[in-house]
Structure 1
Amino acid sequence: MDYQNLLITANGRIQYITINRESKLNALNKQTLQELHAALTEAFSNAEVGGIIITGAGAKAFVAGADIAEFTGVDVEGGRAIAQQAQTQVFDVIANGSKPVIAAVNGFALGGGLELAMACHIRIASDNAKMGLPEVTLGLIPGYGGTQRLTQLVGRGKALEMIMTADMVTAAQALQSGLVNHVVPQEELLSKAEELLNKILTRAPLALSAAIKAVNAAATDGVNGYTIEIEEFANCFGTQDFTEGVSAFMEKRKAEFKGI
């Protein structure tokens, strides 16, 4: 696909997806969401890609939100379609992806931008980052999974406070509340994300995928997460990576996982 709003680059087994609308503070318009769906689908199916880092172009913003101009004149059914399509084709694709995805949050992550970061498995923020869900100032609520994922990450009370006040939080506050995993100086953001992802990529790929599925089950209605964990644990015993991992442990050597 010929991407107009994304930059796709690779560093070893890490694929970068950079939202490249710097003049618009990397806002998520319809085309960008379509391109994200295509890029994510390709990355998850590409055997050469071990994990993904999502970030925004420039130093000001990760993603400053949805492109509000596209909401003008939209009715109830149109609003439902916007949220449904974005959630199923982008945000849920990330959250349920079979490979680890890290959000490198550089600058503002507001509205849909914070929702994008929260869909990722791990979040690292630059020390100048600011995050929030300001939708109620527009007469809206978060529609890309924000009410659900923020509650899971920071708890019901803090989520309601952030959503209802529409206040932004600093990177330090986000770290304290569990909204992000790490905070680093902006110039160290991508190197920290790569360091963490490269460490993760030394682990067994099928086990990583199983861990994502089991952890996600904890927040899935109607699903017994313990049952999913047992099933995924059991499935690991049928992989060559398990045999290699145990052999390497017994032989006191580094395991060489192949994802099979």
Structure 2
Amino acid sequence: MPSYSRNLANDLEQSSDIRFRLADNVAFLTLDRQTESNRLTPASLAHIVQIAQSLAADPRTNCVVVSAEGVEHFSSGIFNAELRAAYSKEDILGIVKLANDAFDRLQALPQIVIGALNGAVRAGGGELALACDFRVCADHASMAFHETSYGCFPGAGAPVRLTSIVGAGRALEIIATGREVFAEEMLRTGLVTEVVASARLQDRVSTIATQMAAKAPLGLRGAKRIAQLQASAGDAAAHQLSWALRTALEYSHDVDEALAAYREKRAALYLGR
């Protein structure tokens, strides 16, 4: 672990407000700090790093759901004025670096990562949401990045990830103005794939996750690798990877198991190999 000041080191030793559980090939990562609008603490960011390290080595889990408790706030972010005053500039940069590590690891997971946005998504909370592969939101949800009002810009990936989703012009306009983007616009611009009534959000995301959990891990992970490579390296590299992975899949246990299950009219038992 990097060297931190005493204040930040003490905060990293505090208990995390992230709840984590595994159930039926789905991992659930839930923010649970409602008294502070599900703010991400240094301890919580460190916990996300640990969770991501564990999931990266998990061959059976197919899907990760990132959500938050309550119906008002997905996450208010990481900092507020009081916290900024309590930390040194070196501490601030250490926390921003930790957030980058956490969100980069989440995005790099082999599993499909779904964000369930249950309300206001702000600043670092928005950067957590953008690290998910796709997002579903409640109809009252909104997203905003207020960092430019404090002499900054979002430092944990938003200028990169938001640009890749909505394009450079719109991303710069959203970040530079700090305005709220509401559910209808999030759907229209691809920030979310679906908008549902607040009361239905958890059930809807659970349904999507259950559908993914029933699939063969190698197929889902291969599709994610190809999509990510296309975004970073273009069509030619993605096509080359696609053919290599598809060739290997043809000789996998899971493809043989899928055919056997179809013939025998039973559920397939996938092993991820």
C-alpha distance in 2 between matches for 1:185 and 1:3: 33
Rg larger in structure: 2
Aligned to 1:171: 183
Select which of 136, 140, 143 maps to 2:155: 143
Aligned-residue RMSD, C-alpha: 2.6
1:2-151 alignment, distance < 5 Å: 4-46=16-58, 49-68=61-80, 69-72=82-85, 74-75=88-89, 80-88=93-101, 90-151=102-163
Conserved? CA contact 1:96–1:212, under 8 Å: no
Asked if structure 2 preserves the Cα contact closer than 8 Å seen for 1:28 and 1:65, the reply is: yes
The equivalent residue for 2:228 is 216
Tell me the residue number matched to 1:239. Answer: 252
Is the 8 Å Cα contact of residues 214 and 232 (structure 1) preserved in structure 2?
no
Residue 229 of structure 1, CA deviation: 2.6
Deviation at 1:7, TM superposition (A): 1.8
Cα distance in 2 for partners of 1:230, 1:80 equals 42
SS of 2:44's equivalent in the other structure is: helix
Contact 1:217 1:225 (8 Å CA) reproduced: yes
Give, in angstroms, the shift of residue 237 of structure 1.
2.8
Scaled by the length of structure 2, the TM-score of the pair is 0.84
User: What is the aligned partner in structure 1 of residue 6 from structure 2?
Assistant: none
- Name the SS for the 1:219 alignment partner: helix
CA distance change for structure 1 residues 86 and 228 in 2, over 3 Å: closer, same or farther? Answer: farther
Q: Identity percentage over the alignment?
A: 27
Tell me the secondary structure at the aligned position of residue 66 of structure 2: strand
- The 3 A distance-change label for structure 1 pair 231 and 79 is farther
Structure 1: runs of 5 or more not aligned: none
Question: What is the CA distance between 1:40 and its match in structure 2?
Answer: 2.8
1:113-136, CA deviations, whole angstroms, 9 ceiling, x for partnerless residues?
A: 111111111211011111122211
> What CA distance in whole angstroms lies between the structure 1 residues aligned with 2:240 and 2:61?
29
Cα deviation 1:217-239 (Å, max 9, x = unaligned): 12325993333333333332342
Rounded to whole Å, the distance in 1 between the matches of 2:41 and 2:142 is 21
AA in 2 matched with 1:224:
A
Distance 1:85 1:6 in 2: 15
Alpha-carbon offset, residue 9 of structure 1:
3.5
Deviations 1:91-130 (A, max 9, x none): 1111111112111111011111111111111211011111
Q: CA deviation at 1:20?
A: 1.2
More deviation, 226-235/171-180: 226-235
The residue type equivalent to 1:65 in the other structure is: G
Instruction: State the AA in 2 paired with 1:194.
Output: S
Q: Is the 8 A contact 2:18 2:31 kept in 1?
A: yes
Separation in 2, partners of 1:246, 1:158: 46
Cα gap change, 1:232 to 1:48, in 2 (>3 Å): closer
Deviates more, 1:250-259 or 1:20-29: 250-259
Asked whether the 8 Å contact 1:115–1:146 carries over to 2, the reply is yes
Q: Distance in 2 between matches of 1:95 and 1:71?
A: 27
Matched residue, 2:3: none
Instruction: Tell me which moved more, 164-173 or 63-72.
Output: 63-72
Q: Which amino acid aligns with 1:243?
A: D
Matches of 2:121 and 2:146, distance apart in 1: 11
